[in-house]
């Protein structure tokens, strides 16, 4: 028996004798989505990636762009071109939002001119160096850009969306080498957020003897701690129409019309109608309620 002929020509275990071809994965769709440098760049934290995100008013992701960590934010405003909202009836998808809320990183004269040309309202605080340059030019510097601080408060939905996305460990810490795979994980996480927020998503419900649907308590909001709700709140003779931001038991926030049934200096007891048309009652912070 020829024992030498049966031996592997290379030393070491067979598992160590196999390796991937040089050049990485050759899957066609991965190569089509590949980015220069795979969206990895040097920043203060080392090799990092940056996620540029556009959301709707409910904090649900609409479009996303990956760039190296050291890339600037303002050049990535083209992510608005990826927004594509289908209409309920006939007509082309809607691609132009009514208003864009962005932080100071996107506040540049070029951005304001581009959005103004498209007829999109823009709310963003002016950078300190831009304001100083405008003042140095005197009357030639023009007027300061309009800024509504109350409207700008709505930008918090973007940060909350980042917070929800980073509950997925694979997104909070990038483990994948290829940018296409990381973008796919972002897309899957965004789909999950949309499904969680959909009123058609099945939840635990029960029907009582009277035939009235009873929704599990996790679907109702309990934002305000008991110490903010005294035993004798102020109760009006007639309910007061209000608009309130409600956070349900799943941690989702939405804006709802309702009526204030009682209130204290810190909290308001609201009867509201959620997106599924169900009636709910909740104590919410007074800062989250406004009169209609």
Cβ atoms 281, 220 nearer than 8 A = yes
Q: Note the pLDDT tens digit of each residue in 99-148.
A: 888 888 888 888 888 888 888 888 989 888 888 888 888 888 888 888 88
Q: Which of 81, 63, 42, 58 is nearest to 198 (CA)?
A: 58
pLDDT at residue number 199:
57
Tokens 């290829």: give the residue.
178
Structure tokens at 57: 């008013």
- The encoded tokens of residue 282 equal 């909740």
Nearest to 282 by CA among 227, 236, 223: 223
CA dihedral (116, 118, 119, 124) positive or negative: negative
Burial (0-12, 13-18, 19+ Cβ within 10 Å), 116: exposed
Q: Which has more confidence, 66 or 25?
A: 66
Percent of the chain with pLDDT over 90: 5
**Cα distances (Å, whole numbers) of residue 246 to 36, 155, 249, 268:** 43, 17, 10, 11
Is residue 215 within 8 Å of residue 202, measured between CB atoms?
A: no
Mean pLDDT for the chain overall: 75
Q: What is the pLDDT of residues 158-211, one digit of tens each?
A: 999 999 999 898 888 888 888 888 999 999 999 998 888 765 544 433 333 333
What is the per-residue burial (b if ≥16 Cβ within 10 Å, else e) of 37-70?
Answer: ebbbbeeeeeeebbbbbbbeebbbbbbbbbbbbe
Sheet holding 240-247, edge to edge: 279-285, 267-273, 253-263, 240-247, 289-291
pTM assigned to the model = 0.56
Give the torsion through C-alpha atoms of 252, 77, 72, 154, to 10 deg. -30
């Amino acid at each position: 028996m020829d024992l030498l002929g049966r031996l592997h020509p290379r030393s070491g275990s067979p598992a160590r004798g196999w390796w991937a071809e040089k050049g990485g994965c050759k899957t066609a769709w991965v190569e089509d989505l590949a980015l220069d440098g795979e969206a990895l760049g040097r920043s203060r934290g080392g090799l990092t990636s940056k996620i540029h995100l556009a959301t709707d008013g409910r904090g649900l992701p609409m479009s996303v762009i990956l760039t190296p960590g050291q890339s600037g934010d303002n050049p990535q405003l083209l992510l608005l071109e990826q927004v594509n909202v289908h209409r309920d009836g006939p007509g082309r998808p809607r691609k132009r939002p009514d208003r864009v809320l962005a932080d100071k990183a996107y506040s540049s004269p070029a951005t304001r001119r581009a959005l103004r040309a498209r007829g999109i309202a823009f709310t963003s605080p002016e950078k300190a160096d831009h304001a100083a340059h405008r003042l140095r030019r005197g009357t030639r510097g023009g007027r300061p850009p309009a800024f509504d601080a109350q409207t700008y408060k709505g930008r918090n939905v973007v940060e909350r969306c980042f917070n929800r996305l980073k509950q997925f460990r694979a997104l909070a810490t990038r483990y994948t080498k290829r940018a296409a795979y990381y973008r796919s994980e972002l897309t899957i996480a965004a789909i999950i957020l949309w499904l969680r927020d959909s009123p058609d998503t099945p939840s635990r419900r029960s029907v009582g003897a009277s035939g009235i649907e009873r929704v599990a308590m996790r679907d109702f909001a309990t934002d305000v701690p008991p110490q903010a709700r005294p035993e004798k709140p102020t109760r009006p003779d007639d309910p007061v129409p209000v608009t309130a931001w409600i956070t349900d038991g799943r941690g989702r926030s939405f804006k709802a019309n309702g009526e204030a049934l009682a209130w204290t200096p810190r909290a308001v007891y609201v009867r509201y109608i959620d997106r599924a048309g169900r009636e709910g009652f909740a104590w919410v912070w007074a800062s989250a309620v406004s009169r209609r």
